[in-house]
Structure 1
Amino acid sequence: MSSANNSTHDQITTSQAAVMIINYMLGAGILTLPRTTVEAAKTPDVWISILISGLIILLAGMIVVALCRRFEGKTWFQFVPEITGKWLAFVLGLLFIGFFITIAAFEIRVMAEVTGLYLLEGTPVWAIVMTFMWIGLYLTTGGINSIARICEIILPITLVFFLIAILLSSNIFDIKNLRPVLGSGFMPVIKGLKPSLLSFTGYEIMFVAMAFMKTPKKGTKAMLVGITVPLMIYLITVIMVIGGLSINGVETRTWPTLDLMRSFEMQGLIFERFESLLLVIWIMQIFSTFAITHYAASLGWSQLLKTKIRPFLFILLPVIFLIAMIPKDVSETFKLGDVVGNASIYLFGALPLLLLLISIARKKGVKPK
């Protein structure tokens, strides 16, 4: 049994690990991804930026898996001290925990903003945030296996309704809105890389999840599936949203993906308007992201301090709540997301490669068979 696990019941399969990565990535970002990329690139070629970003993230994910496989059965918080030494590892662990806490706060705040705007108009943000946080607490107390199981339930529902809604929007899709391809050259594509890279935040959960896998040697497969599925969804979303709304329409909308759903109506179906249905489904998606990050941060504290995880699940709730309530409006909420996204580039882009090289040079860990 791996050292990261409390029991054999708290292990996850390869497919569950992949589903956790997918659910983590498909959080609040997809609701704003078309706007953020178009604002940066100013052209409809942002789908190329997303494709390139997906390949870059796939490479970064393989580095994460390679590093974790040298220390099978251990999470980031347990194996980094072997590479860097105790004190530097403690600092890196705190940064890692801070990142997860902030992601949890950001996701829950975005969920509250969108819910208050479209579903529960007039409901205070703090009330929505607290409700979902307590539900999330109930889930995380069941351990990582419970989180993985709920992700397995949420993901198929999300994919089915999302694809139905996107395909129905083809009635207003105009291919001319995506032309000309590379009409402004390749530089706008480069400018669109940063916001599209930030949308792939989530593969770093393997630093925690891989320690719980029954077959860690299949971590590469889990990472490949976990990144490829969001990449396909992001590509479909951006192409359909820009094709339906045009780059000018996308740039002026806060939640362009939801606005695409609001721009068409299908008479005679059970659901004639799809934005509310999509939003309900996506609330579940954001909820799973919150649960994953809340659990990862709590696990980090428990392993750094070598104590039980349960107290930290409760202790971190008010911390996450306070951070979630710091932004005064949607604009400041997005700024918080940008800060977290920029931090992820350094924490999970350059750092894993550096640690992998150091572990190889110092002959730390076990070389994967």
Structure 2
Amino acid sequence: MKTKISVYQMFAAMILHPLGSTILFFLTPEAKQDAWIAMLVYIPAGILLQLIYTTLYYQYPDDTIVTYLPKIFGRFIGYILSIVYITYFAYLAARVLRDFAELSLIAIMPETPLIVASAMFMSAIAYTVFTGLENLARAAQIALPISIFVFITEYALLFVTPGVVKFDNLKPVLENGIIHVIKAGWLLITFPFGETVTFAMIYPSVNEPSKVRKAAFMAIIFEGILLTVNTIIYIASLGINFATTALFPLLETLRLIKVGFIERLDILLVVIMALGGLFKISIFMYASMLGTAQLIKLKDPKYLALPFGIGIIIFSILIAKNYPQHIQLGLEWTPVYIHIPIQIIIPVSALIVHFIKKWISLSK
């Protein structure tokens, strides 16, 4: 029986997926105190990407990006591109696994070897992916309202902690003009918004195809607003200098909470964020496994969970010598040389080639 998930489950998964790691970092530090404006400015770009991805989906409603690329570009080029996407999803899974393994070492288990922390995360991820997309989607459906409630509670406690939230830190607004903000924030197109190309592997599993585009647009808007609020909180609480230099500004922000006997809630949030990270890695890993299964004609991708899990653990450790190098690669090198071709150039080219071939076919 074909895997099916609801539109709301897809919507919840699309919100939780980027939040799983994006919320840990201060994005667009070059925009300084106007970083929250950059986030709002690039929400339409995220919607435009979804327009491209969903247009391709509606042209090939029974195919994932791995199976429709050979139909568009021909078997030779198409299969090479399909392998590129499979590798890309596995690479992103390894990156996020490294993020959360390092976070757990810094916040909870400083004496634990990196490989042990990674293996602990991956054991849960591999089991989750083995159970299938439907269980993953149901988990997203439950986790979204819980996650929102937790963040609202944490930030409310920040506001009632005396002297923590200082909105004067957001000034001056647009000191260098809106053009500077646009230039400083252009990588937001790729991270976080462009990572939703992963859902080109999941759209065919939604039980109401006609609502996929609307749900995708709403998810991007909701995500953009959440990240905007999060960025404002970072700047107002930490100040722009500390917010842009801290390894995990979210962790540093929540360490400021002191309301009566309530303090050190950062540990609780690390656990919540770890669950979000597990979800994000699971989506990337599932997409890579599903693409591989489709390429080699394997009936059920779940049997790939163990080898993919081991491979992603190894890759996550080899990906960088240390965590600062990992962050530098992820925020400077990866967006330009990996994200842009895979998230933008290939899908746009696929859409153009498809419509050219369709036009030629109709003209004949």
**TM-score, normalising length: structure 2:** 0.92
Q: Is the 8 A contact 1:108 1:324 kept in 2?
A: yes
Residue of 353, 356, 359 corresponding to 1:358: 353
Distance 2:62 2:102 in 1: 39
Aligned-partner residue type, residue 232 of structure 2: I
Q: Is the 8 A contact 1:26 1:285 kept in 2?
A: yes
Q: Does 1:341 align with 2:335?
A: yes
1:100-179, aligned counterparts within 5 Å?
A: 100-171=89-160, 172-179=164-171
- Equivalent pairs counted in the alignment come to 353
Farther-moved stretch of structure 1 (350-359 vs 54-63): 350-359
Aligned-partner residue type, residue 304 of structure 2: F
Distance 1:360 1:319 in 2: 38
2:44 corresponding residue in structure 1: 55
Distance 2:208 2:62 in 1: 10
Q: CA deviation at 1:45?
A: 0.8
> Deviations along 1:163-184, whole A, 9 cap, x unmatched?
2112322242112111111112
2:184 corresponding residue in structure 1: 192
Root-mean-square deviation (CA, aligned residues, Å) is 1.9
Q: Does 1:180 align with 2:172?
A: yes
Q: Is the 8 A contact 2:49 2:194 kept in 1?
A: no
- Percent of counterpart pairs with the same letter? 25
Q: CA deviation at 1:307?
A: 1.8
Distance 1:331 1:234 in 2: 23
1:232-271, aligned counterparts within 5 Å?
A: 232-268=225-261, 271=262
Residue of 63, 69, 83 corresponding to 1:80: 69
Distance 1:229 1:154 in 2: 15
2:60 corresponding residue in structure 1: 71
Distance 2:122 2:293 in 1: 20
Q: CA deviation at 1:289?
A: 0.5
Distance 2:35 2:316 in 1: 30
1:3 corresponding residue in structure 2: none
Aligned-partner residue type, residue 92 of structure 1: L
Unaligned runs of at least 5 residues, structure 1: 1-6
Q: Does 1:283 align with 2:278?
A: no
Q: CA deviation at 1:187?
A: 4.0
Farther-moved stretch of structure 1 (137-146 vs 189-198): 189-198
Q: CA deviation at 1:186?
A: 2.8
Distance 2:137 2:340 in 1: 25
Aligned-partner residue type, residue 222 of structure 1: A
2:265 corresponding residue in structure 1: 274
> Deviations along 1:31-88, whole A, 9 cap, x unmatched?
11x2x422x22x3111111112221011111111111011112111111111110111
> Deviations along 1:301-327, whole A, 9 cap, x unmatched?
111111232332222222211111012
Unaligned runs of at least 5 residues, structure 2: none
Q: CA deviation at 1:259?
A: 0.5
Distance 2:184 2:278 in 1: 28
Q: CA deviation at 1:239?
A: 0.5
